[in-house]
Amino acid sequence: MVDTNRRSFLKATGAAVSATAIAGCSAGPGGGSNTLEKVGMSAYVRGGSWITAYIEAAEFYAEDLGIELEVRPNQQSAQKQVQDIRDFTNGDHDAILVGVWSTGAAEGAINQAMEQGTPVFATNADTSSSEIPLYVGFSNYDGGASSAEQMVAALEEQYPDKDTWRVLNVRGVQGNQSANQRSQGFLDVMAENDRVEVVQTLNGEYARDVAQSTVQQWINANGRVDGIYSGNLSMGLGVVQALRNQDILVPKGEDGHVVLTQMDGSPEVNPLVGEGMIDAAVDQPNYFYNPIAMQYMKQYVEAGNDDSVIPEVDSEVTADDLTIESGQHKGVEMWSEPIWEPGIMREQNGHPWFRTNSVVITQENYDQPFLWGNVWG
């Protein structure tokens, strides 16, 4: 718990001392006078439909709450993100939202912000800092596992008489934590099924063009497979184009259909699911991440930076416990469908993790208005 008066003192003096160094020099925390008025946000990049939805939802929700939100895209630069966090800390921001680009690089700046009394909440991509009050995001591992389960079900339907199904795993950047987890979740489920042979894992580098060329070259050299899993929407679209270029892209149920599952829906992905080209996409409730974080951030700051407002680890949170008020944005009643629930509280990197649910997009629901890809399409 950190006192706001102490934080104000630090900001006013620009002191580079830690809160620990002056512990005991201020009155007790809380008192009901603390308010969340200005928040700094450091996110990956501007551009791209997924990130656009993620950032714009934060801007819309902050507007609804009467909070000034300053968004700084880090352009995939860990150095710039560190500097932006330090600028927010030493400025007049009451709190900071971060989608961490480089886990280790940001830890020092995040810890400094926490020590100086500017709370940092992480969304979408976690920090290794154990000091933050909360991280909000879904489970990349579970997303990969769910994609694998969808693939097995689709293979059973498409090729019930085959003894063995040959599949490809197209993963993201080697060494990236999210990419590792998404790939491992897929592989672990597949390893439990004797009928599945993962013939190769290809590195699509989270890029559409790389996935397209890599998969196309692999099929040219090795022949077709029964199924392909892609670790994000860009690589999934690259795989679709690779099959189209090979003239083997046909909808499910037709002879020769290659079962496709992937992470993420999008304005381009959802119609392909509806056409049966993609069998299933495991989607994140990305436009809820920052509103959920801001709800708890507001309570945290107003309580005098009191972490008792954060739900306890191992508890379950539903819409009965957490209200994200809907609002009119982009022609829809945004946040009206709590697709994030239930949220399961876990511990990750030494801090609480609000693990949201995910949504499996199929032909039955691909056109629903609660999918971000249909709102931002």
Structure tokens at 14: 């620009």
Over the stretch 47-57, which tens digit does the pLDDT of each residue have?
688 999 999 99
Residue 148, class by beta-carbon neighbours within 10 Å (0-12 exposed, 13-18 middle, 19+ buried)?
buried
Over the stretch 292-345, which tens digit does the pLDDT of each residue have?
999 999 999 999 999 999 999 999 999 999 999 999 999 999 999 999 999 999
> How many CB atoms lie under 10 A from the CB of residue 365?
16
Q: Which of 271, 243, 241, 245 is nearest to 257 (CA)?
A: 243
Over the stretch 224-266, which tens digit does the pLDDT of each residue have?
999 999 999 999 999 999 999 999 999 999 999 999 999 999 9
CA 105 vs. chain centroid, Å, equals 19
Q: How far apart are CA 370 and CA 361, in angstroms?
A: 11
Contact 96, 113 (CB under 8 A): yes
Question: Looking at per-residue confidence, does 2 or 367 come out higher?
Answer: 367
| Helix (H), strand (E) at residue 334 | strand 332-334
Among all chains, which residue has been given the structure tokens 């892609």? Answer: 230
The answer, yes or no, to whether residue 185 has pLDDT greater than 60, is yes
Contact 327, 334 (CB under 8 A): yes
State the chain's maximal CA–CA distance in angstroms.
Answer: 75
